Amino acid sequence: MAEEMRKLRHYIPLLAFFLLSKIYAQEVPQPVIELDEFIQKLAATQQEDANYEDLYEAILQFYLNPLDINKADAGELRSLYVLSEIQIQSLLQHRTKYGNLLSLYELQSVENFDQETIKNLLPFVRIIQKLQSNDIKGIYRRATDHFFVIRAEQTLEKARGYTDSIFLGSPQKIYARYRLQHPKDFSLGFIMEKDQGEPNLADYTTFHFQLQNKGKLRNMILGDYQLQFGQGLILSGGYAAGKGGEPIYTTRRSDLGIRPHNSVLEGGFLRGAAASYDFGQIQLTGFASYTKRDASLNTSVEEREDVFSSILIAGLHRTEAEIAKKGVLPEQNYGLNAKFRLNGGHIGFTVLNTTFGNQIERNPREYALHEFKGTQNIVAGPNFSYSWQNFNFFGEAARSSSGGIGAVGGFVASLSPQLEWALNLRNYDRDFHSFYANAFGEASRNINEKGMYTGLKYSPKRGITFSAFYDKYKFPWLRYLVDAPSDGDDYLLRFTLKPTKKWIFYTQYHRERKQRNSPNNETTTDYLTDSYRQNLLAHFETGLGKNFKSQTRLQYNSFLYYGLTRSNGFALIQDIEGAVGQLQLKTRIALFKTDDYNSRIYAYENDVLYTVSFPAYFGTGTRLYLVSRYSVNRNIDLWFRIARTSLLNTETISSGYNEIEAPHRSDLKLQIRYKF
């Protein structure tokens, strides 16, 4: 009798959800996305070379193209960084046992799903009742997202690049974006941008046309696109989260295939055509690309003006020297990915051939001895992902034309509903060359590195989470400003308390040790010494009435070369945000003091839609900003942002061409979105 009652209790929620869906005949509305907490969690250890624009864009694309909860496979669900392995397996088992979900309300009956998980998941999933059209007719009629955005911004104070007539263009930055799409069906869009100081209004443009789910055609893009297969050791377009406040889900990459390139980052994407076809359990993806990259000439090669030392990705074309480097290096890519689906996972193989129109040869430095040299590079290798019970095993290996090998692999496991564990091992040879790789690692490129990472997350009860990671790594060969083989390690400890929807507190400690050339060295040769970087922060957020909330953040950074003076940095940050009718407001006041640039503090800032900001605070001063959004009507939204940094005990701000002859900097930004 007790067993029958237990089974009956399990079916009651399903019956209730079925009746509700019939009575109300409506679906859960897609929540308005709040990226602040999500981004700060993934990017908890900010670095100046991190690709935050692509992080924002990747999350935004998941929001604009929500997964069909009844068709999404395990790999797609993992790509959201929301569900644990035990939750993913519970959802798949629920679909197998009870059939398709009738409503997103039914997520409440999935085993191991709690309210917080469902809240985080809802912005990225839908139930699609109607099959997509198998043709391209009626695109305009089927579109669910159709908008045009234009944005202008300017720094009010003039930098040295303008006062000395070095910059050839105006001080305004202009951005325009158009998008017409229906999720999992088609997408058409373009972006145009001019950076501050650039003379050409359309200095950077990107365009794509995408079709999905047309018979055997799974995905096709013409124009600019990115590719992500396996663990990103050969192709990993866009941002790939690594070490941060989320220590489990970010250690692996998701096999996302072809995606449109939608960011303003002027490197790391392909231009041409790519298509994926399904043949039963086998999926084949072919791609071809031709574009011209910015590059620097190798001035050490005498009497040669067709040898380049490096490919540039900054995308700045403000001066005659910068313009001379624009689009001077032809690059051609083509390749193939094959994926064979298994019960519980897949096996894949990727090959990429990259050919440059001119010779690439790094400047003669000992640390660059094993860098790529030549005009052609082929990199190829297998990858896999397999789930067994609550374990997900993954890995990828590849070999480049140089003979160098790269390999990465590990697992993510749910040991219980409360405890998760991740392990990642990596080994990238000093002569392994993969230009579009972004696999898990410490360095910005997958070369000359060995490491082992482990992460844990423990949630003893609702609203309480302990998370941590430890990473140990070595660099077997020299690096820039590191004139010997070196090693390092870092770890992070984080405690999160979220007892209610309107109240959250977390504190985090991160310490990193790396070997570098000893400063102020007067010996004949450089020698290494340990450097230590520490970061301690406390964040408190609470609701203020019905429409407002407060966020208070205290942060301390320190940097130390072993045996030398420590550099310290402090910041106190107060944010208030809320809404009054159709007007939304977000504001900040920050007080900061750092001894020098080494103890700088990175702080996430709210910005207008489709952009993200992670500036570094250093020196002694204040940082203020106000962001407002006003919905004029159902079609038109306006954003306005003003930000000002004021420094004490200095007469200038910034350096180089961006130096301002004043102790302050003021930035204005205006954006308009029209939804058709």
d(CA 105, CA 126): 11
Strands 503-517 vs 329-342: parallel, antiparallel or unpaired: unpaired
528-583 pLDDT, tens digit per residue, is: 999 999 999 999 999 988 889 999 999 999 999 987 889 999 999 999 999 998 99
Report the pLDDT value the prediction gives residue 318, as an integer from 0 to 100. 96
pLDDT above 70 coverage of the chain, percent: 89
SS3 328: coil
Identify the CA nearest to 326 among candidates 518, 106, 168: 168
Model pLDDT for residues 31-41, shown as the tens digit of each residue: 666 666 666 66
Task: Give the model's pLDDT for residue 246.
Answer: 87
Q: What's the mean pLDDT when you consider all of the chain?
A: 89
Given 3-state DSSP classes, what are the helix, strand and coil percentages for the chain, each rounded to the nearest 5? 15, 50, 35
pLDDT mean over 252-278: 92
pLDDT tops 80 at residue 323: yes
Range name among 42-56, 312-326, 480-494 with the lowest pLDDT average: 42-56
The pLDDT assigned to 28 comes to 64
> What is the rounded distance in angstroms from the CA atom of residue 195 to the CA atom of residue 203?
8
At 549 the pLDDT is 93
Give the pair of three-digit tokens for residue 280. 């039963």
The pLDDT-based confidence of 3 (bands split at 50, 70, 90) is very low
- Lowest-confidence range among 161-175, 495-509, 626-640? 495-509
Residue with tokens 């198998």, as numbered in its chain? 134
Dihedral sign computed on CA atoms, order 659, 661, 665, 668: negative
pLDDT tens digits for range 162-212: 999 999 999 999 999 999 998 888 999 999 999 999 999 999 999 999 999
Q: Are strands 583-594 and 566-580 parallel, antiparallel or unpaired?
A: antiparallel
pLDDT at res. 170 = 96
Count how many Cα atoms sit within 13 Å of the Cα of residue 386 in the half-sphere of its side chain: 11
Reply yes or no on whether the pLDDT at 473 is more than 70.
yes
Q: What is the pLDDT at residue 4?
A: 45
More confident residue, 76 or 359: 359
Q: Quick one: pLDDT at residue 408? A: 98
- Helix (H) / strand (E) containing 268: none
Which residues have CB under 8 Å from 566's CB, separation 6+? 558, 559, 560
Q: Which two tokens stand for residue 608?
A: 């207008």
Residue 18 pLDDT level (bands cut at 50, 70, 90):
very low
Mean pLDDT within 626-632: 96
Kindly state the average pLDDT of the residues 128-146: 70
Whether residue 8 has pLDDT greater than 50: no
**pLDDT range class, residue 136, cuts 50, 70, 90:** low
Give the pLDDT of residue 238: 66
The pLDDT of residue 406 is above 90: yes
Widest pairwise Cα distance in the chain? 92
Give the model's pLDDT for residue 401. Answer: 97
DSSP string, 89-147: HHHHHHHHHH-S-S-GGGGGGSTT--HHHHHHHGGGEE---SPPPSSSTTHHHH-SEEE
Average of per-residue pLDDT across 385-410: 96
- pLDDT (0 to 100) of residue 439: 95
Query: What's the burial of 480, exposed, middle or buried (CB within 10 Å: 0-12/13-18/19+)?
Result: exposed
Contact of 591 with 603, CB cutoff 8 Å? no
Percent of the chain with pLDDT over 90: 66
**Which range (119-123, 348-352, 379-383, 624-628) has the least confidence?**
119-123
pLDDT score recorded for residue 34: 62
Amino acid 43: pLDDT: 64
Ranges 80-84, 302-306, 349-353, 369-373, most confident: 349-353
Q: State yes or no: pLDDT of 12 exceeds 50.
A: no
259-268, 574-583, 644-653: the lowest-pLDDT one: 259-268
Residue 223 pLDDT exceeds 70:
yes
